[in-house]
Chain A
Amino acid sequence: MQKVSQQQLIDKAVSLLADGTVSCVLGWTKGEFDYDITPALFTDEASLRQGFVWNDFCGANFSKYLVAKTRKCEGKILVFLKPCDTYSFNQLLTEHRFDREKVYAVGIPCEGMADIDKVKAICGDGISSIDCNGEKMAVQTIYEDAPVQVDASSVLAERCINCKSKKHVAYDELMGDEGDVIDSARFDEVAKLEAMTPDERFTFWQNELSRCIRCNACRDACPACTCEVCVFNNPKSGVENKSPANSFEEKMFHIIRAFHVAGRCTDCGECSRVCPQNIPLHLLNRKFIKDMNECYGEYQAGAEVGSRAPLVNYTTDDLEPGEVFNGRDSDA
């Protein structure tokens, strides 16, 4: 259950529309099964009251939508930002990707978002409704007479288990209580990969990446991927490919994607959330973040607007990566 209720968010949106602060509202709208939520723009009270939802399945990060929507919308857009979304918000501002003046940001607390696959692992398929408003999540399926009561904590998405911050780093207004930056265990999995031999690691990634269908969802959902035309969509780039010609190209796509967001990735986790093939893309991103922290000092992309990412910042006492990794990895 989320601490700020759907009703409170709707009332907030309605009042900001009514007093003219904003002219439209970026929100989540309900689908067929309570968990299949779609981002939508609302412009009036009636549609907000009818369609706006806020529950444990509102994972979609709205920051990136602001790039396109601020260009289209007359007046200001109201956007509700979970703590992790605010980091993406700042990162986009750092890169001048949207006009801050056109946005009214309301920070909302977040108890973590659920992963529907984990819900299904417990309750099975055939879900007819999910009620997230109680102490426990009540999941009704067509196969059982009574709803199955599920602990929200047992179905948290990976990125929420390893949440790095409950603190909002950007907002015009905050609803509910402010949280703290968390000392999360998000690098533990990376450390496990680092402890592998190069061959083991290669096998691990080979196995994961071989499932990729090159649908590009990871890139398209990523708030750090905002190029107007991605190099992979540009027939003139010479590397445009809709699917890999071979296993080398398959890895090349992932290496380029991960490198291109290195230093700019806030670890929001959208890539892993949307991947239809459950590829743990966040591990690539976190490896870069961990390395940068170790080489250049702690850095969190999006923690503030205008910070210089380690990889685009040069100081004369920068370490040579070799100095850090010498002796740790024979292949580094």
Chain B
Amino acid sequence: MRKCSLDALQALFAHVNASMALYLPVDGSDGKAVYQKWSEGARWSHALNTVRSPKDFFFPQTEDLMKFKTAGKSIEIVDVRNAAEDFVIFGVRACDVKSFEILDRVFLTDPVDSFYASRREHGTIVSVACTRPSETCFCGTFGIDAASPAGDVSCWKTETELFWQANTPKGEAFLQLIAPLTEECGNEAVQAQQEKTAAVMKKLPLAELKADAFGGGKTKEFFDRPEWSELSQACLGCGTCTFVCPTCQCYDIKDFNTGNGVIRFRCWDSCMYSEFTKMAHGNSRLSQKERFRQRFMHKLVYYPENNDGLFSCVGCGRCLSKCPISMNIVKVMKKLGGE
């Protein structure tokens, strides 16, 4: 384990940024934290987490896949991929680190998504343990320990210092890079802080929430439950929950007519939308109730069914704080899980 003083962080960020792009949460113009590329003077935000999740780094909201240029009767296909460069994301919370594993299982299984894979290969994740979780946090429900975040490097922040620990070869390389600005140390301060965080986690209003009732093989048990009507009755179908969610992974591929060619791009899509997966016959889910059900069945039943029991929610709480009508996965779990 290594450490540095918080006062030395700006110098350390500058040092890192000199060899690869560094992204970290800073306070945006609306006062909310947002991931931004570090530049001289950029301050690491004190906020617990960003509104927009870090999934953008690997799975951006929109990206061009290829271009077609037409000239007369010929069509030229342009490869728009540029070689990804090394980068580091600093300040990722335990919940969001876990979300990358959930996305990996989708994008890195055969057929591998080369766009995603290339960014994943070039990215180093530096996580930071939580000390002041919000009432909307329920990472513990999914077995995530906010005080021991995963990632290539894990960090712990105390009043005056930041502690660094490498977990992977990429992480080792990163600690090598910052070695001149950090010093070797013991882990007593970190342990003390982990104990404090554990005590706080127990006090969270959602500390007792369990996901045991859900999981693979339970489609029949939950699909036709009458409670879906009540749960979904106020849903606007806006898709905010899916767009702020670090694990929502659905996308659409569309063509944008530029006038003299076509840009084929991919963009996030939402199962909450009426035109989601629309096919020649129309939409497979006709009502908002069905669309709403899909989002939660996917997270709590279908995804675990296909992924060794892993749920595709990490309890980050973003959908709890951002849904315009305050309907969310916690309310769904409590209603259907019999609490």
Which A residues form the contact surface with B (CB < 8 A)? 31-33, 36-41, 60, 65, 124-128, 141-143, 207-208, 211, 213-217, 219-221, 229, 233-235, 240-245, 273-274, 276-279
Contact = CB atoms under 8 A, between A and B. Distances in A.
Given A142-B203, A221-B324, 6 more contacts: A60-B325, A143-B132, A211-B28, A211-B30, A219-B238, A233-B274
A278 B32 contact: yes
B276 to A, nearest CB: 9
B256 interface: yes
A97 to B, nearest CB: 16
A276 B245 CA distance: 12
Nearest to A143: B132
Nearest to B250: A242
B205 A221 contact: no
Contacts of B252: 242
B36 to A, nearest CB: 12
Contacts of B30: 211, 277-279
Nearest to A142: B203
A220 B324 contact: yes
A31 B326 contact: yes
Contacts of A41: 233
Nearest to B267: A243
- Which of A33, A207, A276: most chain B CB closer than 10 A? A276
Interface residues of B, number: 54
B1 interface: no
A240 B135 contact: no
B43 interface: no
Nearest to B241: A215
A20 B240 CA distance: 38
16 contacts: A37-B326, A39-B234, A60-B324, A65-B234, A126-B132, A142-B205, A143-B132, A207-B29, A213-B243, A213-B244, A215-B238, A215-B244, A216-B238, A216-B239, A217-B239, A229-B274
B244 A276 contact: yes
Contacts of B240: 213, 215-217, 274, 276
Contact of A235 (B34, B244, B278): B278
B135 A127 contact: yes
A37 B331 CA distance: 11
Contact of A38 (B31, B34, B205, B327): B327
Contacts of A128: 135, 203, 205
A39 B325 contact: yes
B258 to A, nearest CB: 9
A33 B135 contact: yes
Contacts of A220: 236-238, 324
B204 A126 contact: yes
B132 A242 contact: no
A33 B328 CA distance: 13
B268 A31 contact: no
B2 interface: no
A37 B325 CA distance: 7
A125 B52 CA distance: 18
Contacts of B28: 211
B263 interface: yes
Interface of B: 28-32, 34, 48, 51-52, 61-62, 132-136, 200, 203-206, 230, 233-234, 236-240, 242-244, 252, 254, 256, 263, 265, 267-270, 273-275, 278, 320, 322, 324-328, 330-331
Given A38-B327, A126-B134, A245-B62, A217 B267 contact: no
A233 B52 contact: no
B242 to A, nearest CB: 8
Contact of B204 (A142, A240, A245): A142
A242 B263 contact: no
A32 B330 contact: yes
A216 B322 CA distance: 13
A277 B51 contact: yes
A38 B252 CA distance: 30
Given A38-B326, A220-B237, A221-B238, A32 B206 contact: yes
A127 B135 CA distance: 6
Contacts of B135: 32-33, 125-128, 141-142
Contacts of A38: 234, 325-327, 331
A127 B263 CA distance: 47
A206 to B, nearest CB: 11
A240 to B, nearest CB: 7
Contacts of A274: 238, 240, 324
B289 to A, nearest CB: 12
A244 B204 contact: no
Nearest to B234: A39
B339 to A, nearest CB: 11
Contact of B238 (A32, A65, A217): A217
A125 B239 contact: no
A245 to B, nearest CB: 4
Contacts of B134: 125-126
A24 to B, nearest CB: 11
B292 to A, nearest CB: 13
A242 B34 CA distance: 21
Nearest to B325: A38
A243 B61 contact: yes
A245 B256 contact: yes
Nearest to B327: A38
A32 B319 CA distance: 13
A142 to B, nearest CB: 4
Contacts of B330: 32
B205 A242 contact: no
Max chain A C-beta neighbours (<10 A), residue from B236, B237, B273, B278: B236
Given A125-B132, A126-B133, A213 B331 contact: no
Top-5 shortest CB links A-B: A274-B324, A36-B326, A220-B236, A278-B30, A243-B267
Nearest to B62: A243
A125 B254 CA distance: 40
Contact of B48 (A125, A233, A241, A242): A125
A36 B252 CA distance: 31
Nearest to B330: A32
